[in-house]
Structures are given as C-alpha cells and as structure tokens.
Chain A
Amino acid sequence: MAHHVQSRSIWDPHILGAAAREALRKLHPRTMAHNPVMFVVEIGSLLTTLALVRDAAVGRPGLGFEIQITGWLWLTVLFANFAEAMAEGRGKAQADTLRKTRTETVAALLLPDGRTETVPAAQLRKDDLVLVKAGEFIPADGEIVEGVASVDESAITGESAPVIRESGGDRSAVTGGTRVLSDWIRVRVTSDPGHTFLDRMIALVEGAERQKTPNEIALNILLAGLTIVFLLAVVTLEPFAIYSGAPQPIFVMVALLVCLIPTTIGGLLSAIGIAGMDRLVQRNVLAMSGRAVEAAGDVQTLLLDKTGTITLGNRQASEFVPLSGVTERQLADAAQISSLADETPEGRSIVVLAKEKYGIRGRELADQHAVFVPFTAQTRMSGVDLAGREIRKGAPDAIRRYVESAGGTVPAELQTIVEGIARSGGTPLLVAEGGRALGVVHLKDIVKGGIRERFAQLRAMGIRTVMITGDNPLTAASIAREAGVDDFLAEATPEDKMRLIKREQSDGKLVAMTGDGTNDAPALAQADVGVAMNSGTQAAKEAGNMVDLDSTPTKLIDIVEIGKQLLMTRGALTTFSIANDVAKYFAIIPAMFAGAFPVLMALNVMGLKTPESAILSAVIFNALIIVALVPLALRGVEYRAMSAAGLLRRNLLIYGAGGIVAPFIGIKLIDVVITALHLA
C-alpha cells in the first residue's frame, strides 16, 4: 500500500502561504471570468470601491460602514480564490512527490548501429530503445523488449519488495522513475515526453489542465442561472424601493446581491474538483481525466476478477480423485509430471500435495525430451509431452474436448466427481493422458474475509457486482454464493467479458472493471471505467482510463466511492449555499427598508442591533463561510454506503435544513461581536 503519500494537514503553512499569494494573482478578470458567480462578486466589489472613492472625494463623513462592506466584499472574492489555490497547492505538493521519482535521469539510447549514446531522459521519444542496467533509473514509461530484471517500484507504488519485469507476457511494462536492481533490460519507450501517465496525472492534480467534468459544467450553468435570477431580483428592487420612497445606496444593493448569489458553492466548486483528483492520487490511483472519476460515481455494474479480488490469492490442490481403474498414485504421478514446469500457484500446489501424500519427488525431465505446453486462455489447459506420453490438465470442458479429439471417451463417472467438487466450492482440474481421462485434482479457493460485507454495501448503493472467472459454472456459482456477488461469468474468455460489458451498456448501465493482461485491453477500453493494474502490460494501461499503482483489484470499490463523494460534495454545498439565502433575507430586507417602513423590523427575527450591523453581519458571514467550508470541500462530505433515498434524506437534513438554520446563528453571533467592537 501507499506509504509515501501521507495525508497532508489541511493547514500546512507552506501551502497556505503560497495559496494566499496565488489568491491575489487570481483576481485578474481573465481568470475570474471562468467562474461566473465570483466574477459577479468581483464586479460588485469594484463598483462599491468606485462609489467609495467618489464618496471620499466629495468628503462625505462617516464612511466606516461603506469601507467595511467594500473590504468584506473583496475578501469574499479572495477567500474563494484562496480555496481554489489551496486545492491546487495540495495538488502541486502531491505532484512534487510524484515528480521526485523522475529526478534528472539520463538514458542510454540505443542507436541503430548498436552503439549507445547518453542523452537526458527528457529527450526520449516514443519508440526509442534504451538500455537500463542494474542500479540505473528507468528513464521513461516503456515496454521491455529484451531481458529480465528485478525492479524497485517503491517510488511509484510504495511497495518495498522488488518486482520481476521481463520481456513478453503480462509483466513487460515498466514505469519511468523506477529503478533496476539487478540484471539489465532493453526498453522500448512508449510515450513522448510530457505525455506519460505521470505527466498527465501531475497536470490534473495541479489543476492546470483541469477540464470541467460534465456534471460540473451542468452545475455551473445552474449557478450562473441562479446568479442572473438574483441579479434581476436585486436590480429591479431599486425601482420598487424608489416607488416606496426608500431608495438604496449601491453598497447595500451590492451587499444584498453578493449575499444572495451562491458564492459558497461558486467559490468552492473548483476546489472540490481538484481535491477529488487529489484523493484519488492519495490512494495511489492515476486517472486520465476528471470525467473518468465522475463516471466512477455512476457505475452500476462492477466486473471483478475472482482471483485476487474475491478470493485470497490462488487455489490450492487438496485432493486427487481418480476414476475407477486408476489408482490415486497414478493420478498423482501424472498430475505432478504435468505440473513440474508449471509455475502457477496451482501447479506448484499440485507438486507439493503429490510430495506430501505420496512422496513423489521432483525429477529431471530434460533427458526424456519433455516439451511443456503452457496454459493459454484459448486452449485453457497445460501439460507436458514426454517420449510417448502426452499429459494434459485443465478445465473440464477443455480436457473433455481434448480426450474426445484424441478418440477417447469421457466416462459418466467423471461428470459426477466434477460436479461434486464444483458444488462444494472447489475447482476440478481434470488430468488426462493420451485419450484417457485419469481423474480430477480438487483445487480449493479461499474467499477473502470481509468481502461479503463489502458487496452488501455495494448492493445497498445500487451497484451490481459480477464475478469474472475462468472456472466452470458450478464452481463459479458456489464461490459466488459464498462471496455474495450478484452474478458471475464463468469460463470467461476475453470475448465473453467484452460481450457482457456491451450488454450491460446497451441497458444503459455504466460498467467498471479491472484488468492487467493485453487480452483485457479491448474490454478495458470498452468499459466506462477501466482500471489497469500497474503491474500489467502497457497495452492494458493505455486502454484503461485509470491505473492502480498498487495493483490491488479491490481498489475499484474505493474509486467508485471517491467518484460518488465528489458529486455529493458539490450537491451538498449547493444545497447549503441556496438554503443560506433565507436567513440573509431576514437580515438584510428589514435593514434596508427599516427607514421607510419601521414596521418591517418585525421581520428582524434575529434581533440584529442596527440596520448597518445587520447588513455587515450578513456580508461577513457570507465571506467567512467560504473559508469555514474549505476543509469540507477538500476532504469531501462523509460518504456512507446506503441507498440513494437514505443518502438524500441524510444530506438534505444536514445541508438543507442545516443550511437554513446555520446562518441565523452565525449572523446573530457576528452581529453581537461587531456591535461589541463598535464596528457598526
């Protein structure tokens, strides 16, 4: 897991200082125009400043109130800028940590004539070949074309144990910034400088290249619309006020406007987005775009690989079940021979069991001209060809086809054994020699602790989990039942996976999956959220829209939660912001018209001291609430796994009802303080 990224204190003085400077720089109208709500506040502040200068020029006495209003209006803008700058600052700090992994490295570029040339890593282009030897840093993301090496990837993953990387197969991808510990490798660079995964992620967390996500755009439109409605309400209030014999000064009108428009959410919106990306990086996930993170919150179907996600590691051989006419020892012997070169955990567990139960030892097969047949996703079996012997082990249907194609028949008894094992939750592994089935190896799967509860939570959130496994349907059903997944796809080929994703999508569902192999790439690309394991192939990483640096498949569930939390934070603060307006009306409206209609003070339910203190308190509350909510915006609202109706009830209560009540208390308190200080 991640060790290098600690959760940063929100009030890190370093970030605070930089953010304060950045907040001032962001006052530039061109920057402000990106945020329509705060842009209106800035224009309002400018108007009151001009009015202040005019009043001062004509020597109007007692400008204390006007000065304070103007000051707090500017502070409102600055606080919003500050929130955004802080989120960006935290992102930058995060990015720096990532960047440290790519200190000024040099690369040994392989020239076409075979010589090597030392060049800075930054000059490497896609498809360049580089040589990396023990002790050197890998200069860029790439794929090993030759060699095997142990690589220290702790800089990226935080995992201190070195991993083996080798050419060909599913472990050929290497990441720039990681270090080769032993041996040497030739690496083909797979991305141009500035376009590596890390580069993109750094740009995203820094907020520089952040594009607004679809929901953020929609929310921005809503906020802009509300701003226009309030602008209208305030601008037309002046004629009504004149008609009523109570014309209002510009300070009061701007104060009313700024208090009504949704500055709280407007000021925190981009901070929320940046912080969401930041949280993802903290969990060691790199996302290609904010859009992918938002899509994660919408996911309705999760495709989870059984192995590693649902079950603990790998299956273990627990029993040899021979067919009649075959002794257990014969079966164990055949199974052991076929597994000697099988480096999979299942293969190794067969060798172990054969040794424990029957004392069959490892033997040297080189002199028997043994040819090992590796497992492939298409044949779904492996084995060995010896002089005169052909032993295969594999999934029941694959072995059955193999036996039948060799002219043999499968006895009915076998089916009974296979089903018996499958029903008990085990995996039957058939062993056959030539055209004759010998028996079955019982492989047992162990379901991870706590995973059942996790799936129940997902179900409550309306997310369907589908287990993907190469097992036969019976085995799959048994494990599916034990783990509590909603559905399973047994004997899954990459094509089956692809079909499943497409079917779910045609029903209008969003699908998320994890994958690491090259044959996962099409499905990763098709899925709405495709999380590639960092340990996987380059093709898989490029096809997905996220990379999990820790390569833990359960991470997908975390990603979904982060996506949901991002949207919830926006929704909650929008509701809070709008609900706040009620109290502000009760503070400002009576204050505005108390002169013309003293009876309106009946609406002054908070009992605010004077009209000036009432207006000032509302403006101060409006500014301070932005700062007060910065931690919430950066942390995200608390996420709980419950149904949508439950979540809504909870959030409406906290942020809706709370949003109505909170400002009544806050404005009253500020009023007490400023009248005590004789500020108004």
Chain B
Amino acid sequence: MTANGWLQIALYLALIAAITPLTGRFMTRVFNRERTWLDPVLRPVERLIYRSTGVDEAHEMRWTEYAMAMLLFSVVSMLLLYAIERLQYWLPWNPQHLPGVPPELAFNTAASFTTNTNWQAYAGETTMSYLTQMAGLAYHNFASAAVGIVLAIAFIRGIAQKEKDALGNFWVDLVRCLLWVLLPLCLVFSLVLVSQGVVQNLRPYDTATLVDPQTVTTTGQAGTTQTQVVRSQVIAQGPVASQEAIKELGTNGGGFFNANSAHPFENPTPLSNYLEMLAIFALASGLTWTLGDMTGSRGHGWAVWAAMAFLFLAGVTTAYWAEAQGNPLLTAAGADQHVTALCPGGNMEGKEVRFGIADSALFATVTTDASCGAVNSLHDSYTPIGGLVPLVNIMLGEVIFGGVGAGMYGMLVFIVLAVFIAGLMVGRTPEYLGKKIEAYDVKMAMLYVLIFPLVILTLAAVSVLFPFGTSSLGNAGPHGLSEILYAFSSGTGNNGSAFAGLNANTPWYDLSIGLATLVGRFLMIVPMLAIAGSLGRKKRVPPSSGTFPVTTPLFATLLVGVVVIVGALTFFPALSLGPVVEHLLMLKGQVF
C-alpha cells in the first residue's frame, strides 16, 4: 500500500461527493419537468417524439400501468436485439463478415443487455458486428440505464407525494432521461475518451507485423504438440468511444472488446481509467441527492449517501489491502512483492501495469458496488480476500450506489426494512418520511429481498451438483465454487462482470445466467413498484420527535447494518466454503 494509492482512493470519494449535487439537482429538474438550459434544443425534439408516438404527456400512470409499460418496452427491445444478433451476417456494417450469433448465446446476450447486466459469454471483437455493437448493444446500454433511472424516480415520487395513486408517465420519464441526462453526458464523455486515445471508427480490423515473431507451442487433444511461429497480429477496431461512455455512465459494463476496460483501446491511460471510474458512480450517487431533493429532506439523501460511501470504503480498503499484500506463497518462494520505484508490488497477476494495485482494486470495488461490471483487471486472479470483495459487493444486493436507478430503488427497499425494525424499537408504527410502513409494504420488501438469494443459491446449487455445471470450471475446490457463485451473483445482481475461470458459453450457463438476469431485474422490479404505489397512496404523517429521524449518522449506521446482516446471513454459509476456506488454505500453502 502506498500513500499515493490511498490518496487516489480518497480523492475519488471526494470527487464523487462533489459530483453528487450536480447530477442530482439536474435529474430532479429533468424529472420534475422544470426548465433546464437544454430546453430550447431538446423540448422541440421531445414534443416531436410524443406527437409521432401518440404519448399523452399529461397522462399519469398507476404503478401497475407503469410496470406494464416498462415490461412492454423491455420485451420489445430484447426481441429486437435477439433479431439483430441472429441476422447480423446479412446486415450492413459487418466488415469482418462475422456469422450470426448462436441462439443460446443470442438469448443470453439479449437478456443480459436488456437487464443492464452486460454479462458477456462471448468476445466482442470476434462475435459482434459493428451494427450489433451500435444498434443492438449500445442502444440497450442507453435504454436499460434509462429504465433503471426512471424506476428509481417513480419510487422516489411514491415517497414524496401524498394520497396520489399515480407515479408519473413511464414514456415521458424515459424520453426525458435519454434526451436530457444520458445523451448529452455521453456525448461529452465520448469526446474526452477519444482525446485519451479511445478509438472510434468503422474500419476493418488492422493487421500488424510483429517486430518480434513469437513461437507458440500448443498441445492438441490427442496429446500431440504443435509448434507455430506467429508473425502478425490482428488489431480489432470499431466505434468504441461512443459505447465506452455509456458503458460506465449507464453502469452497463459490457466491453466492446473481450478484455473490457483492460484493453488499451477502451481504457488507454491512467486518466481515462480514473474518469471511467468516476463515470460509474456519477449518476447513481447523484440519485441520492435527487432522493433528498424530491422528498424535501436533503439530509436524508446525504444519510443514504453516507451509508453507501461507508460500504464502498470498507470494500475498497479490504481489496486494496489484500492485493497490496501480494501472495504469501510467492513471498515464501522468494519473489519480491514490495513496492519500489520500478515495481508496483503486491499481487499483480491479472492486473494492467499502467493501472497498478490501487487503481485496479478501486476499479474492482467500484464496478461491483455499482452493478457496472466493466473490469480493468481479472477478479479471478485476485487473492481470495481481494476476490471476496467484488463477490460480497454483488451479494449485498448491488445497493452500494448500485446500478443507475437500480441501486437507488434496491437501497430504498432496504430502507423500508431498516425503518420497519427501527420504528418498532421506538414504539411507533414504523414510518418512512411520513409514510407508514405496513404489512403490504413489508410483504413486498421481503419478496424483493427473497428473490435475489433464491435465484443465486438455487442455480449455483444445481451447477455444483451436475456435470453440466462443474465441467465448465477452470479451477477445482473452493475456487471453483467461488467462480460459480460469482457467475450467478453477477447475473442476478445485474452486474455482468465475470470472475473468469468459468467457461460460461455453454447451453446450461447461457440459459441459466440469461434467466437469472431477467428474474434478478424484472421479478424484483414488480414488488418494488408495488411498494412505490402503496406508499404513494398513503397520507404523509408530519414528523415529530417521536418519529425516528432518517437524516442522522445513527440511521446511516442502521442502514449499513441491515444491508450487511441480510447479505451476510444469507450468503455466509456458501462463502465459507468458497473464498473464506480458500483464504485459510492459502495461508497453509494450498492453492487451486
């Protein structure tokens, strides 16, 4: 660990705190339909969209109608992507003449991108044409992020309003989110990325002649060895910058290339790396301000932010510490893992030299806190404790800032539970910002909390029992269990990052993870919106000193406690057989 490393982490959090009011206030204005400086340009466009699609701007939707509109939009978008993938061979912008995507993989990818997961069981540069990348995948990066944000806004409206049976208009929210929030931000961010060297073109792949030809020896299945001299390398190209910006800002995480943000064309410099990390939290963190703004309690927004920031710091500290320690077995073998002017030190396996330990550990924490899933290092190569951090971040429900919108509404469900228990402890019918939390709300919140482990644990349990699951494992023992747990957590949590080491492009994993992403997104949204609808219809009880305040450090502590306890109690047994035992075994000198 170095002072420089800690400084970068501290600066990161400080910058996020500074960005929060900016993006937060802007989103409040956009969704409250207040005037913004973009209106002269965007209002006409917006009106044109409504006129041509027949959307009634003034119409307000009940939570059920809001949910139906959202589901309809998502289903149609998903089918569209599936069609593009399957038909890409015959469609334009396919200079590499890539064939159509096989059905299971196409389903998996369509499900994954519709749900803002961006789990990738394929390598982008050898599977997807430019058209698929742009019209299929990048489109979903925008659409799924916008859906997440507007759902969080709908929930916040439910809390803020009183005795009203509507949560807003899904179509209007969606259009405004895309036009005002996502498109302008991504436009600027893409250009910044291009300035750092991220490519943006539609050219066929380059072929470069190697300065230093490589001799590669491979062992075939029959045991015969084959030796080959490699003299040239194909360098993939593409419209990367435009997809890279939304990949982070929309917490999508699906890389243009297989190497994701470790690839020099996606993330060329330490500066671009830092900006990408900031972009991941920018909107999710801003939503805490929006929550405070719209409910009239800025203090509450900051209290929620503080709870998230605390969990983030706990994660990044652990990961940085674990990775900077390096591998004790290598130390024992005489390898120098100390930090020097020429050596980053620590466990550098699977990490880029241009990022080093601190920025890799920070990226891994940020991307799993936020259900983004972009990676600049391989989580599989982390030490057991370092790798436990991303896994636990996901298992806590993707609420540490979380995916854009999804993190906010996920956290709101946890807040409902925290407030329920706290309310009982102070001798009052629990209430949240003046809304009574009653049996129906608790039922829906528990349903939301239940679905998540149900999907992860059940699918992982099936996978470890049968050969179709275990045959994909790259490692045996506890590490193999971690790989499977990570895959389903990542899918269900709509994160999309991969632990790697698991061959996920098999019929079983394509289908089961695809299903996990769908259930983890849509089945959890329905009870969440039901709570929003129920809260929206309630009276707002004025606060008094008998009301438990939701703006204090005590509240933030309680919220952290509920998130950690629910997550820990659910997953501790499984984790104890995965990363925990692996860590203990590593200390004894056994690796997998």
Q: Which residue of B lies closest to A650 (CB)?
A: B425
Question: Could you tell me the distance in whole angstroms from the C-beta of B231 to the nearest C-beta in chain A?
Answer: 45
Alpha-carbon separation in the docked complex, A234 to B574 (Å): 9
Given contacts A508-B539, A652-B558, contact A225 B425 (CB under 8 A): no
Contact of B544 among A222, A462, A570, A639 (CB under 8 A): A462
- Do the beta carbons of B428 and A644 come within 8 Å of each other? yes
* Smallest CB gap from B162: residue in A: A508
- Indicate with 1 or 0, residue by residue over B452-485, a CB within 8 angstroms of chain A CB atoms: 0110011011101100001000000110110000
Q: Are A228 and B450 in contact (CB under 8 A)?
A: yes
A581 at the interface (CB under 8 A from B): yes
A592 to B428, CA, bound (A): 41
- Residues 569-607 of chain A: 1 if any B CB is under 8 Å from the residue's CB, otherwise 0? 011101100110110010001000100010110110000
Residue in A238, A463, A600, A648 whose CB lies within 8 Å of B584? A600
Residues of B within 8 A of A111 (CB): none
Query: Is A464 part of the contact surface with B, judged by Cβ < 8 Å?
Result: yes
Q: Which residues of B contact A464 (CB under 8 A)?
A: 544
Tell me which of B429, B443, B450, B464 contacts A215 (CB under 8 A): B429
B contact residues around A459 at 8 Å (CB): 545
* A592 to B: closest C-beta gap in Å: 8
Task: Name the distance in Å between A503's Cβ and chain B's nearest Cβ.
Answer: 12
What CA separation (Å) do A544 and B125 show in the bound complex?
Answer: 75
Contacts of A244 in B (CB 8 A): 477-478, 481, 577, 581
Q: With A229-B450, A656-B561 as known contacts, state yes or no: A645 contacts B427, CB within 8 Å.
A: no
Contact B425 A651 (CB under 8 A): yes
Q: Which A residues are closer than 8 A to B by beta carbons? A: 214-215, 217-219, 221-222, 224-226, 228-230, 232-244, 256, 260, 294, 297-298, 300, 459-464, 507-509, 563-568, 570-572, 574-575, 578-579, 581-582, 585, 589, 593, 597, 599-600, 602-603, 639, 643-645, 647-649, 651-652, 655-656
Residue of A nearest to B427 (CB): A564
State whether B458 touches A236 (Cβ < 8 A): yes
Cβ of B58 within 8 Å of any chain A Cβ, yes or no, is: no
Q: Is B552 in the interface zone, CB < 8 Å from A?
A: yes
Docked CA distance A575–B430 (Å): 15
Q: Is the CB of A567 within 8 A of B420?
A: no
Give Cα A649–Cα B454 distance, bound, in whole angstroms: 33
CA–CA, A644 to B550, complex, Å? 11
B193 within 8 A of A: no
User: Which listed residue, B437, B539, B577, touches A218 by the CB 8 Å rule?
Assistant: B437
User: A582 to B569, alpha carbons, bound, how many Å?
Assistant: 8
**Please, which residue of chain B has its CB at the minimum distance from the CB of A590?**
B576
Query: Within the assembled complex, what's the spacing in Å between the Cα atoms of A563 and B548?
Result: 17
- The smallest C-beta distance from A333 to any residue of chain B, in angstroms, reads 52
Contact between chains at A462 and B546 (CB < 8 Å): yes
CB distance from A12 to the nearest CB of B (A): 28
Q: How long is the Cα–Cα vector from A582 to B552 in the complex, in angstroms? A: 26
Give the distance to chain A from B154, nearest Cβ to Cβ, in Å.
22
Q: Which residue of B lies closest to A239 (CB)?
A: B461
A222, A300, A578 pick with most chain B CB within 10 angstroms: A222
Give complex CA distance A602, B581 in Å.
10
Whether A639 touches B439, Cβ cut-off 8 Å, given contacts A221-B446, A229-B449, is no
Tell me which of B439, B443, B447 has the highest count of chain A C-beta atoms within 10 A of its own C-beta.
B439
Interface centre among B462, B565, B585 (most CB of A within 10 A): B565
Contact of A599 with B429 at beta-carbon distance under 8 Å, contacts A233-B574, A508-B434 already known: no
Set B429, B446, B453, B568: member contacting A214, Cβ < 8 A: B429
In the complex, which of the residues A214, A575, A582 contacts B425, with contact meaning CB atoms closer than 8 Å?
A: A575
Q: B573–A644 contact, CB under 8 A?
A: no
Closest approach, in angstroms, between the C-beta of A382 and any C-beta of chain B? 40
CB-defined A-B contacts under 8 Å, sample of 11: A221-B443, A222-B442, A256-B573, A298-B429, A564-B428, A567-B423, A567-B424, A585-B573, A645-B549, A647-B427, A651-B425
CB nearest neighbor in A for B538 = A508
Contact assessment for A462 and B434 in the assembled complex, using a CB-CB cutoff below 8 Å:
no
Assess whether B545 is in contact with A585, with CB atoms less than 8 Å apart. no
Q: Least Cβ distance of B483 to chain A in Å?
A: 12
Query: When chains A and B are docked, how far (Å) is the Cα of A241 from the Cα of B460?
Result: 12
B460 with A222: CB separation less than 8 A: no
Closest-by-CB residue of B relative to A242 is B465
A568 to B570, CA, bound (A): 26
User: B22 contacts the other chain (Cβ, under 8 Å)?
Assistant: no
Interface pair B584/A597, CB less than 8 Å apart = yes
Cβ contact within 8 Å between A222 and B428: no
- With beta carbons under 8 angstroms apart, the residue of A233, A300, A575 that contacts B453 is A233
Which residues from B are CB-within-8-Å of A507?
Answer: 542
Is B464 within 8 A of A239, CB to CB? yes
- Decide if B542 touches A508 in the complex (CB within 8 Å): yes
Residue numbers in A under 8 Å from B423 (CB-CB) = 567, 571
Residue of A nearest to B477 (CB): A244
Alpha-carbon separation in the docked complex, A430 to B426 (Å): 49
CB neighbours (8 Å) of B572 from chain A are: 233, 585, 589
Is A568's CB under 8 angstroms from B446's CB? no
Q: Which of A232, A239, A574, A647 contacts B465 (CB 8 A)?
A: A239
Once bound together, how far apart are the Cα atoms of A239 and B561, in whole Å?
A: 29
Which residues of chain B come closer than 8 Å to A508, judged between CB atoms? 434, 539-542
Minimum distance in angstroms from B570 CB to a CB of chain A: 5
Q: Is the CB of B422 within 8 A of A648?
A: yes
A571 surroundings in chain B (CB, below 8 A): 421-427
The reply to whether A462 and B541 form a contact with Cβ atoms under 8 Å apart is no
Q: Are B446 and A222 in contact (CB-based, < 8 A)?
A: yes
Pairwise interchain contact B544-A599, C-beta atoms closer than 8 A: no
Chain B residues lying within 8 Å of A574, measured Cβ to Cβ, are 421, 424
Known A-B contacts A222-B417, A462-B545; the reply to A294 vs B427 at CB < 8 A is: no
Docked-complex contact B569 and A643, CB < 8 angstroms: no
Q: Which of B547-572 contact A (CB under 8 A)?
A: 547-549, 552, 554, 558, 561, 565-566, 568-572
Measured between alpha carbons, how far is A214 from B554 in the docked complex, in Å?
27
Asked, given contacts A218-B438, A585-B572, whether A243 binds B465 with beta carbons under 8 Å apart, the answer is: yes
**When the two chains form their complex, are residues B554 and A645 in contact, meaning their CB atoms are under 8 A apart?**
yes
Q: What 9 A-B pairs come out closest when comparing CB atoms?
A: A462-B546, A571-B424, A564-B427, A225-B446, A462-B544, A571-B425, A243-B464, A239-B461, A599-B584
Question: Which residues from chain B contact A649 at a C-beta distance below 8 Å?
Answer: 554
Residues of chain B within 8 A (CB-CB) of A222 are 417, 420-421, 442, 446
B587 touches A (CB below 8 Å): yes
**CA distance in complex: A240, B464 (Å):** 7
With CB as the reference atom, state the residue of chain B lying closest to A589. B576
- CB <8 Å contact, A647 and B426: yes
Known: A297-B427, A647-B427. A233 touches B439 (CB 8 A): no
> Does the CB pair A565–B458 fall under 8 Å?
no
Query: When the two chains form their complex, are residues B458 and A230 in contact, meaning their CB atoms are under 8 A apart?
Result: no
